[in-house]
């Protein structure tokens, strides 16, 4: 897809606006932003005429590319504070990337509608879980060992890569259900984001290599105009969302994000009709 300069400028402006929205919401809800970025990208790419056949794949792949530097920065910060469960993370070093590879193989062959359906189902489950969440919910006193742990890591990598997210929502749920404090879960999830986003980036480049319907400045299912615009913008405006978050009740934030995920699920579900 070759756009004239005027349309390229409109494309860039729309993505910049998406970065502002995603940065504020990511800061507000305390997540990496993938769950925000994918539906925003899907809408923006549609507005500028990206073909429906590749729009969802491009949204997911571009989101994963953006998560790479943010997850690396976040992991380093948490690691220096000694907050990361390195034993759990080491046990995920093979399992999570295996899930990522499996997901990119699926993404290379699944239709746009199939990818939207997957996102909608997982977003709905996450939204319901957040709405019904109770801090007293526990599945065990501590995180299980292998093979259960590796299976969970593979599943986190697989589902997160299909959704274009860094795995924070899923890993936080896993760790807190097994009696780990939330701050440790969040810190460890930053490392999980590294294990997902880096192989996921290369996987989506491979999956979309040579696709004729992609917009300008795309390598496979990654659009570099979006990547270069979104990263600095989200880093700049995310603190505003953080300040808003600190002024609000935590449970209200969980409820708000749960409702947001259900709305996103409904939006993608409606697009399949």
Q: In this predicted structure, what is the pLDDT of residue 12?
A: 76
What DSSP designation does 139 have? Answer: S
Looking at 164-168, 242-246, 268-272, which range is the least confident one? Answer: 242-246
pLDDT in tens, 230-251: 888 877 877 776 677 667 676 7
Q: Can you tell me the distance from the alpha carbon of 41 to that of 82, in angstroms, rounded to the nearest whole number? A: 35
Mean pLDDT (the chain) is 84
Looking at residues 182-193, what average pLDDT do you find?
A: 83
Rounded alpha-carbon distances, angstroms, from residue 4 to 9, 48, 49, 230: 9, 12, 13, 22
Sign of CA dihedral 161, 52, 10, 3: positive
Q: Read out DSSP for 100-126? A: HHHHHHHHTTS-HHHHHHHHHHHHHHH
């Amino acid at each position: 897809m070759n756009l004239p300069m005027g349309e390229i400028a409109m494309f860039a402006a729309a993505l910049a606006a998406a970065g502002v929205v995603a940065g504020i919401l990511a800061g507000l809800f305390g997540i990496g932003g993938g769950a925000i970025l994918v539906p925003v990208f899907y809408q923006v790419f549609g507005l500028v005429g990206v073909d429906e056949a590749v729009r969802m794949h491009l949204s997911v792949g571009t989101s994963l590319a953006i998560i790479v530097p943010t997850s690396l920065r976040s992991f380093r910060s948490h690691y220096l504070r000694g907050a990361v469960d390195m034993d759990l993370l080491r046990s995920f070093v093979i399992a999570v990337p295996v899930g990522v590879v499996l997901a990119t193989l699926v993404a290379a062959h699944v239709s746009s509608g199939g990818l939207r359906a997957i996102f909608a189902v997982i977003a709905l489950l996450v939204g319901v879980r957040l709405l019904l969440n109770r801090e007293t919910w526990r599945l065990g006193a501590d995180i299980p060992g292998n093979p259960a742990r590796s299976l969970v890591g593979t599943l986190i990598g697989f589902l997160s890569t299909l959704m274009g997210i860094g795995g924070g929502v899923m890993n936080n749920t896993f760790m807190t259900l097994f009696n780990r404090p939330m701050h440790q879960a969040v810190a460890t999830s930053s490392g999980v984001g590294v294990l997902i986003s880096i192989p996921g980036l290369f996987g989506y480049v491979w999956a979309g290599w040579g696709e004729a319907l992609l917009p300008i400045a795309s390598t496979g299912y990654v659009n570099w105009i979006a990547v270069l615009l979104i990263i600095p913008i989200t880093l700049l405006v995310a603190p505003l969302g953080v300040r808003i978050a600190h002024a609000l009740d935590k449970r209200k934030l969980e409820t708000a994000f749960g409702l947001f995920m259900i709305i996103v699920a409904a939006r993608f579900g409606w697009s399949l009709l």
